[in-house]
Amino acid sequence: MKLVLDDTRTLDLPDEMSDEAARQLKALILAHEERTRAAESEVRLLRDEMAAMRAMTASESNDDSQVIAELRAMRQELSAGLRRVEQVAGADRMVVPDPITGEMTRSRVILQRE
C-alpha cells in the first residue's frame, strides 16, 4: 500500500495495514511535521530575540563602564575635597585685626603646605 503524504512524497506501507491505520498514520505524520515547522519558527524568533538581548547587554555594559568611570572621578573629587576640609580643620589660626574696629578679634586659617 502506498500512502500519499503530499504531491511529492509517498510512503510504502505493508499491504495488511488497514485503511484507517494508514489514515491515522498520515494524520500523525502531518501533525508532527506542522509542529516541527512551528517549533523551528519559534526557535528562529527566540534566536533573534537572544541576539537582540546580547546586543543590548553589550551596549549596557559599555554604559556601565562609563558610569563606573564617572563614579571613580567623583570619588577622586570627593576625596580631594575631604582632604582640603581636613587640612582646614587641622590648620593653625592666627588672630588678625577686624578691618572696621581694628580690634584683634578675627582669626585667619594658616594652611600648612605639604
3-class SS letters over 12-27: ECCCCCCHHHHHHHHH
Q: Give 109's contacts (C-beta < 8 A, 6+ positions apart).
A: 88, 91, 92, 93
Does residue 105 lie in a domain region?
no
Does residue 95 lie in a domain region?
no
**Rg of the chain over all Cα atoms, to the nearest angstrom:** 42
For 14-30, what is the mean pLDDT?
91
Does residue 49 lie in a domain region?
yes
Does residue 35 lie in a domain region?
yes
Q: Are 11 and 3 in contact (CB under 8 A)?
A: yes
Does residue 57 lie in a domain region?
yes
Q: What is the Cα–Cα distance from 36 to 7, expressed in whole angstroms?
A: 20
Phi, psi of 37, rounded to the nearest 5 degrees: -60, -40
Confidence of residue 114 (pLDDT cuts 50, 70, 90): low
Does residue 96 lie in a domain region?
no
For 11-39, what is the mean pLDDT?
92
Tell me what pLDDT residue 111 has.
64
Number of domains in the chain: 1
Structural domain including 81 reads 2-89
Does residue 41 lie in a domain region?
yes
